[in-house]
Homo-oligomer: A and B are copies of this chain.
């Protein structure tokens, strides 16, 4: 079995969504003092490669722990958006056969800008028309290799809301989507946090 890691590393100097704080990974126990190593981890629930629950943005939305665990595993396909300027249109989505997939992953190529200022702007996002179409397909989730499924100047978070309303989960800050082709199995496993509006995840593809 081939296993591909789709996750950015979690470290103190990593990029985070503008306005939030970076994680703290503090040495708590050492070999010298305690005979073992342990860290104290402090991070927001939407840090790094992470998943949004419907409750992140919807009053009555489900938490991640309201889903059965099979919601986090399924067939996935990559939609190449590297030539899309600002918009990922309905016409563009319709070039792909999405009839037998659980997850759609949009490859923008923005993961290559991780750690740089231009990571935070200029990536394309679904139009509301394209989001409405995806919402009609009974998918488990949408993933992107950039910081948001919405454009940064869309303060209404339309794409988030259209898809979260259908109990889809959003996966943001993926990487290595260029190493995937064809349909594969995606595992996007959040921590099992009580009443989770979101969680950092480990995301892998298996083939």
**A interface vs B, CB < 8 Å?**
1-5, 7-12, 20, 25, 28, 31, 35-46, 48-49, 55-57, 59, 65, 68-70, 72-73, 157, 187, 189-198, 200-202, 204, 206
Contacts and interface: CB of A to CB of B under 8 A. Distances in A.
A38 B197 contact: yes
A33 to B, nearest CB: 13
14 contacts: A3-B69, A9-B193, A10-B191, A25-B193, A28-B44, A37-B197, A38-B45, A38-B197, A41-B41, A41-B44, A72-B204, A187-B187, A189-B204, A192-B202
A51 to B, nearest CB: 11
B41 A42 contact: yes
Nearest to A58: B31
A9 B194 contact: yes
A35 B200 CA distance: 20
A206 B1 CA distance: 14
Give the number of copies in the complex: 2
Contacts of A187: 187, 189, 204
Contacts of A25: 193-195
A198 B38 contact: yes
| Max chain B C-beta neighbours (<10 A), residue from A37, A43, A44 | A37
Contact of A189 (B28, B41, B43, B189): B189
| Max chain B C-beta neighbours (<10 A), residue from A39, A72, A201, A206 | A39
